[in-house]
Structure 1
Amino acid sequence: MNPVPYMETLQRIAAGMGPQRGFQSSLKSLLALLAERHGFLRPHLVIFDPETRTLRLCVADGAPRSGQVVYEPGMGVTGQVFVTGKPVIVECLKGHPVFLSKFFVRTEEELSSLAFLSVPVLAPQLGWEPGREQAARKVIGVLSVDTPRASRDVLERHRCFLEVVAGMIAAQATYLQDDMARQQRLAERRGDRPHVPGDLDGGMIAVSESMCEALKQASYAGHGRGPVLLRGEPGTGKSRVAAFIHAASVRNELPLVRFYASRLRESGPDALTGEQAERELLGYRKGAFPGAVQTRKGLFELANCSTLFIEDIDCLSLSLQTQLLHVLQDQAVVRVGGGQLVDVDVRLVCSSSADLEELVAKGQFLEDLYNRIAVFPITLAPLRERTEDILPLADLFLKASAEAAGRTVERISTPAQELLAQYPWPGNAEELAQCMEQAVQVCDDLVLRAAHLPQALQTSDDKRTALPFNDAVARFEQELLVDALQHAHGNMLQAARDLQVSYRIVNYKVKKYNIDPRSYA
């Protein structure tokens, strides 16, 4: 391949990164240049946020799925590149066991026709020291691109080129990281800390007695050292409680590492085979299987001195359960392909939606493993059994969805609240979050109304008795009055103009429904 285009691009990058331009603008132009000159798709830069210990999408040439999406170190290809400090080449996106595709939407055709290159961005060296190796430098981010599938040689040349680019932008990436931390501290001083997916503040509300008790137990578990088993139906928030337990533990200075065992029962690009799951958990040696071109650490090693969360542990095969039991007994792992024992100090938090006792009785789950992981069990009740949490959670998800969609939705109308409160929520809090996200997409008002909710909620209220006509009209009038007074900041004359009625009617209705306009001033 002709190296001239690479050299010309590097010269243009160097020329465009002077002090006369802001680092955000410089990086945006750089990514656009990569796309224009080399046919890379969706070039993007991810930076590690030391305040939240997550990897955040900072600059991209392309429309991301959502600005709220983050990776944890070790999660997906991006997280693995950050943790290992080594580049990764995914020769085909479709069916790759680690590639998660969280930042961008890709069609099935693109997944089949594209490769993915990801290289670490290392902190710039302050000065040369004898014997100092590049590997000792701290990883501060990850530079990644999609590219059409090609031979391994072509992809390797692209990878080498991107590593040079990553070295050139190291200083700008450092500025981005510093600015990110500064903005986070400012937000905390103002008391409006931004939502981080996976954080308790971003999706766990304890109003009901059962949820308050569960979080109280999780707090106790956080201060302990033994394994924790989180039980409950899918969507009840087990993943977020696992993050809470880790944050409350003495291991919280290192990131929480996650393994989604449910991928063993899925189909599609995120699915795992038993062999792939074994390699992901235990790691593997170079040459252990075709394609093992270098030795890799598994999630147990990456979680050393931290916490490993295994979601849906009941999905593990008996073979993987046996290996997991050995790791817990020996506090050491043997990578796939053999070799010496590698000592690990890992705290295990597991979750399950299944009846593990029944699986043990059927011989589908190892009793010894069950006894080891169930040292501290915590059960999360389904949403239908803690109805007090539904509306506070709905308000929380409404604000997050509106912010992500760039819209302003101030509140949920009373009829919509009634539908939300009466729905049984078989998918629990996860279904509620999806419901509010869908409703925000079709909401064309400052108030989210019953008509904006998914059809399933509007047709599931068979037991609901209809309001008498006069009561329904009165409730609708109150809604309109409250909305108008909110927009007019309590000014009844302006509210009357907005509603296109006389001031006398507004004044009469306000008194009739005992509404205090001053509360909206």
Structure 2
Amino acid sequence: MYDNSEISSRLKDLTTLYEITKELASSQDLSESLKKIMHILSSMKSMENGTVTIINPITGKLEIEVAHGLSEEKRLRGKYTIGEGITGRVVATGHPIIVPQIAKEPLFLNKTGARADAIDQQRSFLCVPIKHGEQVIGALSIDRYYEGGLTEQANTDLQFLTVLSGLIAESAVRIQMVNQEKESLYSENLKLKRELSEKNRINDIIGNSSKMQDVYEMIHRVVDSNATVLLRGESGTGKTLVAKALHYNGKRKDKPFVVVNCSALPEPLLESELFGHEKGAFTGATERKTGRFEQAEGGTLFLDEIGEISHAVQVKLLHVVQERNFQRLGSTKLINCDVRLVAATNRDLEKAVSENKFREDLYYRLNVFPVYLPPLRERRTDILLLAEFFLEKFSKENNKTIKRISTSAIDLLVQYHWPGNVRELQNCMERAVLICDEDTIKSIHLPPSLQTADPRSKGSPLSLSSAVENFEKELIIEGLKKNNGNQTKTAQYLSTSLRIINYKIHQYNIDPKKYRI
């Protein structure tokens, strides 16, 4: 029979286990869950300095995963080899250990420095192994003060901790399996998105960002239509590529695709270029000329930089768009035309209309189906994709074997503000390929303009220590990539020790698993 104090103690144990089980069952983050469990042990069981130590599968050392009541600095000190100290011995043997009084146990190392005062030194230390099947994966330990020395309560607490360690092990395995399943689903989702992106991608247009997906959607909606399309966007955003996509993916793909750069020709020549002229129409017109509208019959006419045309040309263009016929210069004969019109501009046409620089009626005729091309700075997730595309393209053209872009170069590419958009990125990568004599594009191969910060951004300059840290981090990541995430080989590759590599990896929060193929 149990007396009242024993019944009360066992009820408290059951209540504590219930709270802990509830926490473990509802959590998918083991680390956060363990922190809450250590807090429960402290508040409900008077167990202080609750610590979970786990074997690091990479280094093979014991490292404190969670420690209640310890600062981050003290937690990081808690590293042991298997067999070292009380915790190391528990993991090595797989058997629990009770230290009656911390101050009198020579094996107790106190690496964290958490038991500095006299009261802490009088406490007992209980440590149990965390097992998954027969394999010991770590240890659970607590401090507790027993008035009058060790009592039967210590054995009860040891049994309680053994049960708890089993729950922790089972939850760790369950959470790991759930996370693996999530990772698998995430990978499958990415694969499907890539396949969908490949399906939606049109000709040479590169981009998976949400803004480019919107562009693809707009192209698909209007590709088989005869509606006039107005492409808006800054210079270098790919308006010509979209115009080609509209033609070569539509029902007119077997007919001509004709391009006119409206800003490259003065007014008299542009008018002749668009509509043609008869022999003798003006000085120098020695023979009849077929205009671009006639050349594009049945196909697509792409008018680039439409915002630059004069009022006189605007009037004639409006007539063609409305009536679908035109006259050659020097002729009175009307020529019917069946042409899909695609126009492009980087100008603010609405402002030009308000300033009477562009005809309002022509603007509305052209603006039937506007498509906005986002600048590169608004689709930063596409920068690396485009850079790798250009890297492969120019490497083949120049018979070079350049396999990748370094982390530091990627950082510069992503952080730059790209005023010249995709065209500037293309030129940048071509230059980098030409001057690179290695298998990796590095930051030194990029133009000087990328080495300076965005003038629109505000921030303090990088300190020397930060620059050194960034350089160290880049070297380690480069080494891990080249050695398939193997830290030992990375240490050899960088001519340093495994201990220093491990320390730096933890310091810079680098995950070697990311670099395993």
TM-score, normalised with respect to structure 2: 0.54
SS state of the match for residue 223, structure 1?
coil
Q: State the Cα deviation string for residues 305-334 of structure 1 (Å, max 9, x = none).
A: 111110110010001111111111221121
Is this contact kept in 2: 1:492–1:503, CA < 8 A? no
Higher relative contact order (CA 8 A, sep 6+): 1
Q: Are 1:408 and 2:408 matched, yes or no? A: no
Shift of 1:342: 1.4
Alignment partners' CA distance in 2, 1:448 and 1:244: 31
Q: Are 1:278 and 2:271 matched, yes or no? A: yes
Cα pair distance change 1:413/1:208, threshold 3 Å: same
Q: Are 1:385 and 2:378 matched, yes or no? A: yes
Q: State the Cα deviation string for residues 256-300 of structure 1 (Å, max 9, x = none).
A: 21111121xxxxxxxx22111111111111222343333221110
Alignment partners' CA distance in 1, 2:459 and 2:392: 30
Q: Are 1:255 and 2:256 matched, yes or no? A: yes
Q: State the Cα deviation string for residues 151-180 of structure 1 (Å, max 9, x = none).
A: xxxxxxxxxxxxxxxxxxxxxxxxxxxxxx
Q: State the Cα deviation string for residues 407-446 of structure 1 (Å, max 9, x = none).
A: 2221111111111111111111111111111222211211
Identify the match of residue 394 of structure 1 among 382, 387, 396: 387
Cα pair distance change 1:280/1:431, threshold 3 Å: same
Q: Are 1:471 and 2:469 matched, yes or no? A: yes
Higher Cα Rg, which structure: 2
Alignment partners' CA distance in 2, 1:329 and 1:510: 69
Q: State the Cα deviation string for residues 65-119 of structure 1 (Å, max 9, x = none).
A: xxxxxxxxxxxxxxxxxxxxxxxxxxxxxxxxxxxxxxxxxxxxxxxxxxxxxxx
What letter matches 1:476 in structure 2?
Answer: E
Shift of 1:518: 9.2
Is this contact kept in 1: 2:480–2:515, CA < 8 A? no
Q: Which of 424-433 and 386-395 deviates more?
A: 386-395
Is this contact kept in 2: 1:492–1:517, CA < 8 A? no
SS state of the match for residue 223, structure 2?
helix
Alignment partners' CA distance in 1, 2:418 and 2:401: 25
SS state of the match for residue 285, structure 2?
coil
SS state of the match for residue 439, structure 1?
helix
Q: Are 1:453 and 2:446 matched, yes or no? A: yes
Is this contact kept in 1: 2:203–2:245, CA < 8 A? no
Identify the match of residue 432 of structure 2 among 433, 439, 447: 439
Q: Are 1:288 and 2:281 matched, yes or no? A: yes
SS state of the match for residue 230, structure 2?
strand
Is this contact kept in 2: 1:318–1:366, CA < 8 A? yes
The gaps in structure 2 that reach 5 residues or longer are: 1-200
Is this contact kept in 1: 2:488–2:498, CA < 8 A? no
Aligned to 2:246: 245
Is this contact kept in 2: 1:223–1:249, CA < 8 A? yes
SS state of the match for residue 278, structure 1?
helix
Aligned to 2:225: 224
Alignment partners' CA distance in 2, 1:340 and 1:254: 24
Cα pair distance change 1:219/1:458, threshold 3 Å: same
Aligned to 1:4: none
Alignment partners' CA distance in 1, 2:337 and 2:271: 16
Cα pair distance change 1:469/1:282, threshold 3 Å: closer
Shift of 1:252: 1.1
SS state of the match for residue 397, structure 2?
helix
Is this contact kept in 1: 2:301–2:340, CA < 8 A? yes
Alignment partners' CA distance in 1, 2:275 and 2:216: 31
Q: State the Cα deviation string for residues 231-266 of structure 1 (Å, max 9, x = none).
A: 111111111111111123211111321111121xxx
Identify the match of residue 326 of structure 1 among 314, 319, 328: 319
Q: Are 1:423 and 2:416 matched, yes or no? A: yes
Is this contact kept in 1: 2:279–2:288, CA < 8 A? yes
Cα pair distance change 1:365/1:242, threshold 3 Å: same
What letter matches 1:452 in structure 2?
Answer: H
What letter matches 2:211 in structure 1?
Answer: S
Identify the match of residue 362 of structure 2 among 331, 350, 369: 369
Is this contact kept in 2: 1:260–1:311, CA < 8 A? yes
Cα pair distance change 1:321/1:516, threshold 3 Å: same
The gaps in structure 1 that reach 5 residues or longer are: 1-198, 264-271
Aligned pairs, number: 309
Cα pair distance change 1:314/1:502, threshold 3 Å: closer
Is this contact kept in 1: 2:256–2:298, CA < 8 A? no
Q: State the Cα deviation string for residues 453-506 of structure 1 (Å, max 9, x = none).
A: 1101101257476373663243232244146448xxx99999888x48489799
Alignment partners' CA distance in 1, 2:460 and 2:427: 23
What letter matches 2:237 in structure 1?
Answer: T
Q: Which of 505-514 and 280-289 deviates more?
A: 505-514
Q: Which of 458-467 and 338-347 deviates more?
A: 458-467
What letter matches 1:443 in structure 2?
Answer: C
Alignment partners' CA distance in 2, 1:463 and 1:240: 37
Give the fraction of aligned pairs with identical amino acids, expressed as a percent: 37
Aligned to 2:168: none
What letter matches 2:329 in structure 1?
Answer: V
Cα pair distance change 1:304/1:396, threshold 3 Å: same
Shift of 1:382: 1.5
Alignment partners' CA distance in 1, 2:422 and 2:255: 28
Aligned to 1:50: none
Alignment partners' CA distance in 2, 1:414 and 1:378: 34
Is this contact kept in 2: 1:206–1:215, CA < 8 A? no
Alignment partners' CA distance in 1, 2:480 and 2:247: 43
Alignment partners' CA distance in 1, 2:297 and 2:358: 26
What letter matches 1:209 in structure 2?
Answer: S
What letter matches 1:351 in structure 2?
Answer: A
What letter matches 1:364 in structure 2?
Answer: K
Q: State the Cα deviation string for residues 29-65 of structure 1 (Å, max 9, x = none).
A: xxxxxxxxxxxxxxxxxxxxxxxxxxxxxxxxxxxxx
Alignment partners' CA distance in 1, 2:271 and 2:471: 62
Aligned to 1:28: none
Identify the match of residue 347 of structure 2 among 330, 334, 354: 354
Alignment partners' CA distance in 1, 2:504 and 2:401: 26
Shift of 1:218: 1.6
Alignment partners' CA distance in 1, 2:282 and 2:273: 14
Aligned to 1:78: none
Alignment partners' CA distance in 2, 1:284 and 1:236: 34
Alignment partners' CA distance in 2, 1:212 and 1:480: 32
TM-score, normalised with respect to structure 1: 0.54
Cα pair distance change 1:464/1:207, threshold 3 Å: farther
Alignment partners' CA distance in 2, 1:282 and 1:400: 38
Alignment partners' CA distance in 2, 1:304 and 1:518: 55
What letter matches 1:286 in structure 2?
Answer: K
